[in-house]
Amino acid sequence: MQKIILISLKFLFTITLMLNCLMRMSFGYELNKNIVYYDGFIEGYLHKEKEDWSIICEVKNNDRCLLTQFLEIKIDESKQTFLIFIIKEMNDNYLVLRSKLNDESQSSKGDEIKIMALSNTGNLKFQLMNTKCTLDYCEYAGVIPDDFLKKLKNKDEFMIGVGNKKNKRNIGIMIEMNGFPEMFQALGKNEIKN
């Protein structure tokens, strides 16, 4: 009889422990489901997302919100991670690319890389200039010209061209535009503020 009671108590204890763990995991998910953090790239709160684009507001500055898209591409046998985002500052819209420093092909100063935004139609293009490099990434930014922005609002896909002067390699990254017009409008109207 004692053996049955002991087995029943162990079973009850195991079930209670499993339920407790499940409740903690779901509570942790609820608590953290809107926090976006990606290996030193960005830390922020997810406010809205639609198809290929998300609006993330930075943790350290909730008033600074970005229209973002994460990209991971395979170059040779290694993965390269990029964060592309649009931010409105003053009366300008900036296109920014953060490139993860995960191999020796990138300069930690970012001066050996040339970044261009290229429209699929109309031969529109502009250069993104290096603004800073940290231990985790290099950042390139440029003001989006009005005619280029008009194409983006029409969901015209564009390409980011990355040229590396050191190893003389060029890559092109297609940027998907599904959901962009609605998300850009939400960013502009400050619909994301609490």
User: Which of 8-17, 18-27, 176-185 reaches the highest mean pLDDT?
Assistant: 176-185
pLDDT for residue 93 is more than 90: yes
Give residue 36's pLDDT band: very low, low, confident or very high (50, 70, 90): low
Tokens of 43: 């830390």
Residue of higher predicted confidence among 29 and 168: 168
Instruction: Over range 97-115, report the average pLDDT.
Output: 65
pLDDT band of 9, cuts 50, 70, 90: very low
Percent of the chain whose predicted confidence (pLDDT) is above 90? 15
Closest among 95, 94, 68 to 83, alpha carbons compared: 68
pLDDT tens track for 62-74: 678 889 888 888 7
Q: What is the average pLDDT across 25-33? A: 35
Record the pTM. Answer: 0.73
Q: What is the pLDDT of residue 22?
A: 40
The answer to whether the beta carbons of residues 110 and 133 sit under 8 Å apart is yes
Q: What is the pLDDT of residues 120-150, one digit of tens each?
A: 777 889 999 988 888 878 899 999 999 999 9
Nearest to 160 by CA among 55, 73, 43: 73
Whole-angstrom CA distances from 1 to 4, 7, 15, 64, 165 are 5, 10, 21, 66, 80
Average pLDDT value for residue range 106-116 = 66
Q: Which residue has the higher pLDDT, 27 or 93?
A: 93
pLDDT at 85: 92
Whole-number average pLDDT of the chain = 74
